[in-house]
């Protein structure tokens, strides 16, 4: 059987969003600086910001005031929503700088059940466009349209006047090959289950200086689930981690008068996935193996960065007297800290009708170099709202450049009149 070659350029671009190389790990030309060591996972479509509101605020949504897209950011926030219920649909043409047939669609909704409970659900669908499958000689095997989807259900419970917790359950389906046999190995669709845990704190009596407003804090751990497999080769293929991550956010909405308000939101985000170790001829040089379980991998992600291993004039790794390898001082800690992404956003509302948004997202150069500004606008009329956002990458070669997102929202049932003064039943 001829070895099959799959034209997966678009698929692989979704796994690694074209990180800008800054040198390899341990490269002697780096003079002790960290090299490129990105963390990749399966089903990265689960980490794509689905909605235009947060997409216009630098992806800083963990502590934002709740809406129907809070099931992605922080389900616990829903118990402090102003509306009783809402449904929204979002659409994002993806990687338009490279292709024109990849897109993400997102449908989400929630409903309040009294003062203490809220339920929510969402459907995420990611189409990778048309992919050409060929053999080693370049002969056409068939055309296919790989796709992935995620179904999520969530529940939020208000634990006190100002605190709430949330829990999501997810089903993930990823069909990238259509069952094609690759190099004699049968492939299959990947299936996984996952959960999110979230917490929210809400204080509508906050004050900064003389400015009164609403302060919110949010924390989430997302996508805790089994590894996903695309073949049936047993122990030789333990599977790939889901994009497990932790997010911590703060937001303050200052109310200047009855017509004007401004929200500042800041998020810290980190993948809870093992960092790739440094190997030389199959031998572990620095870091830790990623052949671990889900919980072990989450814990390990906080201390497994390999840092930069020193080399001699010939480019060989330098060993210590005990046989270990010499790592540049503090480079492990530096790499661990570089795995924390920073997202910031601003949102201005006039008379609860017109919103103007801006934000900035920063990822370290050695972890992928996703660095971009976001801009967005929103309009609300009675029960209807529409949001649009635009992504402006700092580097022209970034495939995320000029990304647009569109969201249409509609709420039902009137205001819930929630405040931290109201005591749950």
Scanning the structure block, which residue is given the tokens 């932790």? 246
Q: Do 222 and 245 form a contact (C-beta atoms < 8 A)?
A: yes
Termini Cα distance of the chain: 68
Q: What is the CATH number of the domain that holds 201?
A: 2.40.160.40
pLDDT of residue 141: 76
Segments forming the whole domain that contains residue 184: 4-415
- The answer to whether residue 421 is domain-embedded is no
Residue 13 pLDDT exceeds 80: no
Neighbours of 264 (CB within 10 A): 17
Residue 339 pLDDT exceeds 60: yes
Helix, strand, or coil here: 296?
helix
H/E stretch holding 13 reads: helix 9-15
Helix, strand, or coil here: 420?
coil
pLDDT of residue 35: 82
pLDDT of residue 237: 67
CA distance 137 to 123: 39
Scanning the structure block, which residue is given the tokens 């989430």? 220
- Find how far residue 257's CA is from the centre of its chain: 35
- The answer to whether residue 363 is domain-embedded is yes
- The answer to whether residue 422 is domain-embedded is no
401 or 418: whose pLDDT is higher? Answer: 401
Radius of gyration of the chain (CA): 23
- The answer to whether residue 424 is domain-embedded is no
What digits encode the pLDDT tens for the residues 40-77?
999 999 999 999 999 999 999 999 999 999 999 999 99
**Sheet order of strands, 140-144 included:** 4-6, 131-135, 140-144
Contacts of 286 (CB under 8 A, 6+ apart): 26, 277, 278, 306, 307, 309, 325, 327, 332
Eight-state DSSP code of residue 295: H
pLDDT of residue 147: 92
- The answer to whether residue 96 is domain-embedded is yes
- Mean pLDDT (the chain, rounded): 87
CA distance 260 to 64: 17
Domain count, the chain: 1
At residue 36 the predicted structure's pLDDT band, cuts being 50, 70 and 90, is: confident
Nearest to 230 by CA among 180, 183, 292: 180
Alpha helices for 56-170 (secondary structure H): 70-73
Residue 28 pLDDT exceeds 50: no
Nearest to 16 by CA among 49, 43, 40, 47: 40
- The answer to whether residue 97 is domain-embedded is yes
pLDDT of residue 5: 37
What digits encode the pLDDT tens for the residues 235-284?
556 789 999 999 999 999 999 999 999 999 999 999 999 999 999 888 89
User: pTM of the prediction?
Assistant: 0.87
Contacts of 270 (CB under 8 A, 6+ apart): 245, 246, 247, 301, 339, 340, 341
Using a CB cutoff of 8 Å and minimum separation of 24, what contacts does 281-286 make? 285/26, 285/309, 285/317, 285/325, 286/26, 286/325, 286/327, 286/332
Residue 85 pLDDT exceeds 80: yes
pLDDT of residue 217: 98
Eight-state DSSP code of residue 398: -
Residue count (the chain): 425
- The answer to whether residue 423 is domain-embedded is no
pLDDT of residue 32: 54
- The answer to whether residue 220 is domain-embedded is yes
Backbone angles phi, psi at 12, to 5 degrees: -65, -30
Cα diameter, the chain: 75
């Amino acid at each position: 059987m001829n070895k099959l070659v799959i034209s997966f350029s678009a698929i692989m671009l979704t796994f690694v969003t074209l990180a800008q190389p800054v040198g390899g790990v341990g490269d002697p030309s780096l003079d002790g600086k960290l090299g490129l060591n990105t963390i990749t996972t399966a089903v990265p479509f689960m980490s794509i910001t689905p909605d235009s509101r947060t997409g216009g605020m630098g992806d800083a949504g963990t502590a934002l005031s709740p809406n129907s897209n809070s099931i992605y950011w922080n389900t616990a926030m829903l118990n402090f929503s102003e509306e009783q219920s809402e449904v929204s649909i979002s659409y994002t043409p993806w990687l338009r700088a490279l292709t024109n047939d990849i897109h993400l669609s997102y449908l989400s909704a929630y409903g309040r059940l009294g003062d203490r409970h809220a339920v929510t659900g969402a459907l995420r669908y990611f189409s990778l466009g048309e992919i050409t499958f060929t053999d080693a000689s370049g002969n056409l095997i068939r055309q296919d349209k790989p796709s992935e989807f995620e179904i999520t259900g969530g529940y939020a419970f208000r634990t006190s006047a100002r605190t709430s917790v949330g829990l999501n359950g997810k089903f993930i389906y990823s069909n990238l090959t259509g069952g094609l046999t690759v190099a004699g190995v049968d492939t299959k669709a990947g299936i996984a289950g996952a959960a999110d845990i979230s917490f929210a704190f809400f204080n509508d009596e906050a004050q900064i200086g003389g400015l009164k407003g609403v302060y919110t804090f949010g924390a989430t751990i997302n996508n805790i689930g089994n590894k996903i497999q695309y073949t049936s080769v047993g122990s030789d293929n333990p599977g790939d981690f889901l994009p497990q991550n932790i997010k911590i956010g703060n937001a303050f909405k200052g109310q200047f008068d009855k017509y004007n308000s401004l929200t500042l939101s800041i998020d810290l985000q980190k993948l809870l996935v093992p960092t790739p170790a440094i190997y030389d001829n199959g031998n572990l040089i620095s870091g830790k193996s990623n052949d671990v379980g889900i919980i072990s991998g989450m814990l390990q992600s906080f201390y497994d960065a390999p840092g930069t291993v020193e080399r001699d004039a010939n480019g060989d790794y330098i060993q210590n007297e005990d046989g270990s390898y010499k790592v540049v001082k503090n480079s492990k800690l530096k790499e661990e800290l570089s795995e924390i992404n920073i997202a910031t956003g601003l949102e201005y509302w006039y008379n609860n009708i017109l919103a103007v948004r801006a934000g900035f997202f920063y990822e370290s150069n050695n972890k992928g170099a996703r660095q971009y500004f976001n801009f967005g606008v929103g309009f609300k009329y009675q029960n209807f709202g529409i949001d649009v956002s635009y992504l402006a990458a700092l580097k022209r070669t970034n495939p995320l450049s000029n990304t647009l997102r569109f969201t249409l929202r509609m709420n039902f049932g009137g205001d819930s009149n929630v405040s931290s003064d109201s005591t749950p039943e």
